[in-house]
Structure 1
Amino acid sequence: MTDHSKFLTAGKRVITEEADALIHLADGLGDSFGQAVELLLNAKGRVIISGMGKSGHIARKIAATLASTGTPAHFVHPAEASHGDLGMMTRGDVVLVLSNSGETPELADLVAYTRRFSIPMIGVASRPESTLLQRADVAIVLPNLGEACGTGVVPTTSTTMTLALGDALAVALMEYRDFTPENFREFHPGGKLGARLSKVADLMHTGDAIPLVESHTPMTNTLLAISQKGFGVVGVTDETGRLIGIITDGDLRRHMDGLLDLTARDVMTPDPATMTPHALAEEAVALMNSKTITCLFAVDPAGSGNVAGVLHIHDCLRAGIV
């Protein structure tokens, strides 16, 4: 059997070295970081991010993070830039260029283009004297630490620091703009994140699909409404349309004796649990679970009590909210 102790030792060493590098990065952040954030905030166009090799992979991730948090951004490959993609950059944009050495030859045309057309450029590298940082409008210097690979040639520590720097820029921009979870959902309508941030209004049934009867409705008609709408419940309203009660299977069983001689008001459970359409669907699921119910009415948040929709637990399950 293979002795895993050497693997474990290597893994811990790499993670420890990269964690130490992040502390050095945080301690070394200075005014250039603030200048970079200000440039990004004032961009009239988009943020163009570029890098070659492993720096390019990090650049793609930073571009995706910025774009999903309210800062229009995209990645431009430096080699493709030299063959026509330079036209993707225009005045009003801000360019963020990543290169650990600051001397990556494939970046030369892109850097020269920003200088020619006065497009603001933020350079990120580990050598202050490098061509990239010397030509940048804002130069962010990464701590010049050895890579965690042991040989010093495989980008590990440097890419971890660059990735963390990109996250720091994105979060600083978010906090300045008061970027909210609701804003985040606008860029993440799909997947688990989108589901968690869905609102009741996104999933609820509205209009004629809502099972409602007025309080004076005979139970014969009320039973038809429960059957036709298919939710297993019906909401009971007063003459103004305000929700005053709900009838469930449990209510029907409790009033079996002489049920058809009664009205909806006689059978209903008053003051049912409700949500506003603007509430998170995740909150609605939590409320349904705590009340051991499968349906929830959404009422007008203005205080009228009028019903805006109905949400079933199955709607939330289909959306991926569990």
Structure 2
Amino acid sequence: MSFDYIKTAQRVINIEAQAVNELLSHLNADFSAVCRQLAQCQGKVIVTGMGKSGHVGRKIAATLASTGTPAFFVHPGEASHGDLGMISAGDLVFALSNSGESGEILALYPVLQHRQITIIAMTSNPGSAMARGANLHLNINVRREACPLGLAPTASTTAALVMGDAIAVTLLEERGFTANDFALSHPGGALGKKLLLSVPDIMLSKDEIPLVGVEQTIREALLEMSEKGLGMTGVIDSEGRLVGVFTDGDLRRILDLRADIHETAIGTVMTKDPYVIEADWLAFDALKFMKEKSINGLFVTDQRIPIGAFNMHSLLQAGVY
């Protein structure tokens, strides 16, 4: 008889879901005190943990840091060999251990206490040495591990992760942390590009802008388009104001009309009064505008004077989509 993979997976997920649900009973005055202490921390939050708790601690530190609480992870073994120098007055240590008896972390307690560093312990045992020696303790006890041997940290690490997220989001909301604040911590991500990247960051400017005079020929406009590589050129009047645009689509249209590209002035075949935007636009808003208007390129103007140009490919290259 073949092994029932689905049945085992269902059991694991049910046990871990139960462990997460049981965390609700641990949301008491201790949780509030921990959040208050973290919110009032004048320095950095140093997260530490051994083994699987260390992996969870790294994630909690990263989540805190990206949501407005300065935090980083320090391995307790390395801390005993010099990395304690990273901890300064005003910092706070957030120590994780399922058993609460991690020797590597307990070895740090005397030094931290001597330096009057606040210690928050998060364990599954309120009577453990780590809990008793800490300034504050957060209980994350789970009824059982998903591992049938009760040995591999499974439900307990899930509970620790979820409690860490609960703390980080609680602090985020208390601080009034916004999407713009988040983007400042994630400038390379999709949200960062959406909220931070502006049109001047991606547009061509000065001599890179494809422009021809209204009296120049179609041939000259095509040469300008080819040289600047945006698939379009702006058309300006004698005062330098943008009065039209000529695109690849316009070229296909005039070829059907058999226009003489050597003699015909671009001003007679251009698209008049094209859509334009100003330089204070975000790149993401420009993308939405282009999609709404079904256009592939835009000119950026200041009182109708072209100061920039870009196309859809420019946005995609910058990671805006």
After TM superposition, the score normalised by the length of structure 2 is 0.83
Structure 2 CA distance, aligned partners of 1:43 and 1:89?
13
Structure 2 residue corresponding to 1:109, chosen from 104, 107, 110: 107
Amino acid at match of 2:313: H
Task: Give, in angstroms, the shift of residue 318 of structure 1.
Answer: 3.2
Task: Give, in angstroms, the shift of residue 54 of structure 1.
Answer: 0.7
Further displaced range: 190-199 or 24-33: 190-199
Amino acid at match of 1:226: M
Amino acid at match of 2:92: V
SS at match of 1:234: strand
Task: Give, in angstroms, the shift of residue 147 of structure 1.
Answer: 0.9
Structure 1 residue corresponding to 2:296, chosen from 291, 294, 306: 294
Structure 1 CA distance, aligned partners of 2:30 and 2:244?
61
SS at match of 1:171: helix
Structure 1: tracts of 5 or more residues without a match:
none
> In structure 1, what is the equivalent of residue 248 of structure 2?
249
Task: Give, in angstroms, the shift of residue 128 of structure 1.
Answer: 1.6
Structure 1 residue corresponding to 2:51, chosen from 35, 38, 53: 53
Structure 2 CA distance, aligned partners of 1:63 and 1:246?
52
Structure 2 CA distance, aligned partners of 1:147 and 1:229?
63
- Within-5 A mapping of 1:182-197: 182-190=180-188
> In structure 2, what is the equivalent of residue 313 of structure 1?
312
Q: Relative to structure 1, is the Cα distance of residues 321 and 176 closer, same or farther in structure 2, using a 3 angstrom cutoff?
A: same
Paired residues, number: 315
Structure 2 residue corresponding to 1:172, chosen from 155, 167, 170: 170
Q: Is the contact between residue 199 and residue 277 of structure 1 (CA under 8 Å) also seen in structure 2?
A: no
Q: Is the contact between residue 245 and residue 272 of structure 1 (CA under 8 Å) also seen in structure 2?
A: no
SS at match of 2:108: helix
Q: Relative to structure 1, is the Cα distance of residues 217 and 80 closer, same or farther in structure 2, using a 3 angstrom cutoff?
A: same
> In structure 1, what is the equivalent of residue 61 of structure 2?
63
Task: Give, in angstroms, the shift of residue 122 of structure 1.
Answer: 1.4
Structure 2 CA distance, aligned partners of 1:298 and 1:34?
51
Structure 2 CA distance, aligned partners of 1:56 and 1:48?
12
Task: Give, in angstroms, the shift of residue 184 of structure 1.
Answer: 3.1
Amino acid at match of 2:234: G
SS at match of 1:316: helix
Structure 1 residue corresponding to 2:116, chosen from 115, 118, 127: 118
Q: Is the contact between residue 244 and residue 270 of structure 2 (CA under 8 Å) also seen in structure 1?
A: no
Task: Give, in angstroms, the shift of residue 56 of structure 1.
Answer: 0.6
- Within-5 A mapping of 1:14-93: 14-93=12-91
Task: Give, in angstroms, the shift of residue 84 of structure 1.
Answer: 1.6
Structure 2 CA distance, aligned partners of 1:245 and 1:72?
51
Structure 2: tracts of 5 or more residues without a match:
none
Task: Give, in angstroms, the shift of residue 274 of structure 1.
Answer: 4.3
Task: Give, in angstroms, the shift of residue 123 of structure 1.
Answer: 1.2
Deviations 1:105-141 (A, max 9, x none): 1111222222111112211111222222222222211
Q: Relative to structure 1, is the Cα distance of residues 109 and 197 closer, same or farther in structure 2, using a 3 angstrom cutoff?
A: same
Q: Is the contact between residue 50 and residue 104 of structure 2 (CA under 8 Å) also seen in structure 1?
A: yes
Amino acid at match of 2:309: V
Deviations 1:144-200 (A, max 9, x none): 421111222211111001111111222223233333444333333446665666624
Amino acid at match of 2:35: V
Q: Is the contact between residue 195 and residue 282 of structure 2 (CA under 8 Å) also seen in structure 1?
A: no
Structure 2 CA distance, aligned partners of 1:257 and 1:108?
85
Q: Relative to structure 1, is the Cα distance of residues 59 and 243 closer, same or farther in structure 2, using a 3 angstrom cutoff?
A: farther
> In structure 2, what is the equivalent of residue 137 of structure 1?
135
Further displaced range: 199-208 or 11-20: 199-208
Structure 2 CA distance, aligned partners of 1:200 and 1:235?
21
Structure 2 CA distance, aligned partners of 1:307 and 1:134?
69
Percent identity, aligned pairs only, is 42
Q: Is the contact between residue 277 and residue 298 of structure 1 (CA under 8 Å) also seen in structure 2?
A: no
SS at match of 1:250: helix
Q: Is the contact between residue 188 and residue 194 of structure 1 (CA under 8 Å) also seen in structure 2?
A: yes
Q: Is the contact between residue 198 and residue 283 of structure 2 (CA under 8 Å) also seen in structure 1?
A: yes
Task: Give, in angstroms, the shift of residue 75 of structure 1.
Answer: 1.0
Q: Is the contact between residue 200 and residue 311 of structure 1 (CA under 8 Å) also seen in structure 2?
A: no
